Amino acid sequence: MRLYVGIGTKFKLNERFFEIVEELERNLFLAKDLDYETVKQKFSLTELYKYLEAGTLQFRNGKENEESVKYDYEDFSMLPWEQREGAKYKHFVIKPLLQVSGEKLKPFIEERQKKLSEQGYKVSVRSIYRWLSDFLKSDGDIRSLVNNTHNSGPKEKLIQGEVDLIIDEVMDSLYKRRELANAKRVFYGVIHRIDTENQTRNQEDKLKSPSISTIRRRINDSDSYERDKVRLGHVEARKKHGSVQMLKKPTYPLQRVEIDHTPLDLILIDKNGLPLRRPNVTLAIDKFTGYPLGVYVGFEPASYTSVMYCLLHAFAPKTYLKERFPSVQNEWLAYGIPELLVTDRGKEFKSKHLSEASLQLDFELDHNPARKPWYKGSIERYFRTLNEGLVHQLPGTTFSNVFKKGDYNPEKNAVMMLEDFLEHLHIFIVDIYAQEQRGIRLSPARMWEKAVENGFSPAIPSSKLDWKVALMKLGKGSIQNTGIKKDHMHYQSKNLQELKIRLGIKGKGNIIKYKYDPSDISKIYVYDELEMQYIETLCTDQEYSLHLNEYSHKLFVAAANEESKNNVSISSIAAARAKSEELVKNQILSKKERSILARMSNDGSNTLLNNDKVNALDSKPEEEPEKPKKTQKEPVVQPVKTEYYENDTLDLDEDWGASYD
């Protein structure tokens, strides 16, 4: 849920309820205690954000009273499938009406109902009005559209929408391979996908296969640029359709935000003085002002992990700046939830994790067409400026153009650690790039300030739960006596076993959903659907898992698999980790091995924000479940061999773990 702080905003701080009644000056508010109305207290905007980041403050919807604003379910992604899809359907119905002003509403609703009816959707004008009203009253909270009953909603249309999505994905896969989307090829691909999907569905939820005539119509309606690119080739297609599209320009901050990744032309060193590899930067930039909104620097490949941390940084006010980097002169002004997030078509941006998070936090996703980078022109230009204006001035730079290198050895000259680079990066973003005027445009900082002076207010998440958990990765599993097993590890707690008993009493079985931070797999957050809260559940082997990221664990599992001939245990995996750490200690790593281990480290700019605490029932580590006695010796695990991953062709970063469908 997004929220704007101002007069009328209510919040809960350390079990006390307040309401902002006056803005004394810019970003300084007077709030009254709702239990003792004669008690008033001043709060700066920065103070409120620090409390929010620490998890001690939760904002409330200022338009409604305390009793009416609490939902029975905090996290939209944890609701049953039919409730989620029903809410998505209602959002689809009202979406074109969200920008219409009140006095013109009725004719637009009637026109929308007529158009939907022609498309086969049965919905009344009264229902559209009610759904729109509920959504607007909630400040755009998707949970306001959730039905309390599981059996309501246009189920047939929802299932048909899933079939349409499968058709699009099959066609996209052909375009990516530069193959023409022949109707028969698409048809057989769709049938195979649907058959596979139906294997895990109940009879009433099974998808229906489309006819080949339906496939032909979809191909004819598909993007003509993509078809011409396959038929004529890239160059001729660009000539025919043009290289620059006329895009609607945003008129205020956060209306359109672009996000992407790029490797930096720089080699950093680790705490032992060893050269690592080129770091990757994930950056979000506001299209209207040109102000960078959020950034994440790390060594792992572009993945949902880097997207998650970049967005966390983008949403949050940068209250850490002066304390962490006192050499930075100005404030980092830009923050907030965007209305529209524009991405490319990478799998990390099209993942179910980001899709569910966008609904929970109320921002729209737009994946720019394949091979059309000009749709994200702002961020592409910024990456060039970043490399040329900052990175190429630092020791350890690799340069993009090989002819510039000469005898320069970037590994030999790498002397900068990650923390030092982050300080340089903040100076560049906040004190240089954001302050520079380009042409006739004002500087990004001045454009942001001017928008605020004219009444603009950034939207932020309403609670710490929204801030972090909504962006975590999703998982699904079953509660056994030994806890939850995920990727050869067990997660166990007393609260988890109590949940299993309560679910059994209710006849709900032991299947649960959970969320987890891919940069620290030592714990998961199990969703208690009966109490509508999260249960923090720790890995039973904390010595192995503490501060271990998902990418590293996949490598250790792969190494243990290779050595143990698929007879993998947590002990053999831990042995693989120990061998890798020994190599680092002895500093005998090749360039490729250092590259792999850089990705495995948890080094990254995710430490900028206080992201440790999550609203969940705390847990203590449980004992590792007793293993059966073995008659043979534990296999000896050799060091992780990077030749398994020649040219990094093995995809280890996204889809190996348990995921929720």
> Beta 40-44 vs 28-33: how paired, if at all?
antiparallel
Surface-to-core class of residue 135, CB atoms within 10 Å of its CB (0-12 exposed, 13-18 middle, 19+ buried): buried
Question: Closest Cα partner for 603 from 421, 348, 347, 469?
Answer: 421
322 neighbors 445 (Cβ within 8 angstroms): no
Domain boundaries, the chain: 2-68, 81-149, 156-241, 257-466, 482-648
Residue 299 confidence (pLDDT): 78
Task: Please count the residues of the chain.
Answer: 661
Do residues 505 and 546 make contact, with C-beta atoms less than 8 angstroms apart? no
603 to 268, 276, 319, 482, 608: CA distances (angstroms): 11, 11, 21, 32, 11
280-286, strands of its sheet edge to edge: 292-298, 280-286, 257-263, 340-343, 364-367
* pLDDT of res. 574: 75
If you ran DSSP here, which 8-state letter would residue 266 be given?
A: B
**Cα 100 from Cα 107, distance rounded (Å):** 10
CATH entry, 257-466, from 3.40.630.30, 3.30.70.420, 3.30.420.10, 3.40.30.10: 3.30.420.10
Q: Do 490 and 539 contact (CB within 8 A), yes or no? A: yes
Cα separation of 199 and 196, whole Å?
Answer: 6
Tracing tokens 């230009």 back to the chain, one arrives at 381
Rounded to 5°, the CA angle 354-357-358 comes to 85
CA angle 103, 105, 110 (to 5 degrees): 145
**CA pair distance 657, 650, nearest whole angstrom:** 15
* Whole-Å CA distances, 566 to 94, 308, 449, 563, 653: 51, 32, 59, 8, 20
d(CA 177, CA 171): 10
Alpha-carbon distance 389 to 396, whole Å?
15
Q: Could you tell me which of 17, 146, 28, 159 has the C-alpha nearest to residue 84?
A: 146
183-198 vs 155-176: helix axis angle to the nearest 10? 130
> Which pLDDT belongs to residue 209?
81
CA atoms of 46 and 302, how far apart (whole Å): 32
Q: State the pTM of this model.
A: 0.60
How many angstroms separate the CA atoms of 618 and 493, rounded?
9
Topology of domain 2-68, CATH: SH3 type barrels. (2.30.30)
Structure tokens at 464: 């710490």
Asked if residue 417 lies in contact with residue 271, where contact means CB atoms within 8 angstroms, the answer is yes
What is the rounded CA–CA span in Å between residue 647 and residue 554?
17
pLDDT at 159: 54
C-alpha 346/C-alpha 100 separation (Å) is 33
How many C-beta atoms surround the C-beta of residue 149 within 10 A? Answer: 9
The three-class DSSP label of residue 315 is helix
Q: What is the DSSP letter of 348?
A: T
| Sequence-ordered strand ranges (E) for 379-469 | 460-461
pLDDT at 654: 39
Backbone φ and ψ for 163, nearest 5 degrees, come out as -65, -45
Q: What is the mean pLDDT of each run of 10 residues along the chain (661 residues)?
A: 79 90 88 88 88 81 41 62 81 82 74 84 86 79 71 48 72 58 77 82 76 73 55 53 52 90 76 65 91 88 85 88 90 91 81 79 74 52 64 49 40 63 87 82 91 84 68 88 91 92 87 88 89 87 86 81 72 72 52 54 64 60 53 43 33 36 34
What's the token pair of residue 236? 């001729």
Residue 71's pLDDT is: 44
- The 3-state secondary structure of 120-151 reads CCCCCHHHHHHHHHHHHHCCCCHHHHCCCCCC
CA 170 – CA 346 distance, rounded (Å): 15
Q: 629: helix, coil or strand?
A: coil
CA 53 to chain centre: 18
Within 8 A by CB and 6+ apart from 83, the residues are 146, 147, 150
Angle in degrees, 0-180, between the axes of helices 81-94 and 105-118, rounded to the nearest 10: 120
Classify residue 465 by its DSSP letter. H
Q: Are 370 and 176 in contact (CB under 8 A)?
A: yes
CA-nearest of 209, 100, 229 to 160 is 209
- What does the CA dihedral 197, 199, 204, 206 come to, rounded to 10 degrees? 30
What's the angle, vertex CA 469, arms to CA 480 and CA 287, rounded to 5? 150
Chain centroid to Cα 609, Å, comes to: 16
User: Residue 502 is encoded by which pair of tokens?
Assistant: 């309560």
Residue with structure tokens 């905007």? 45
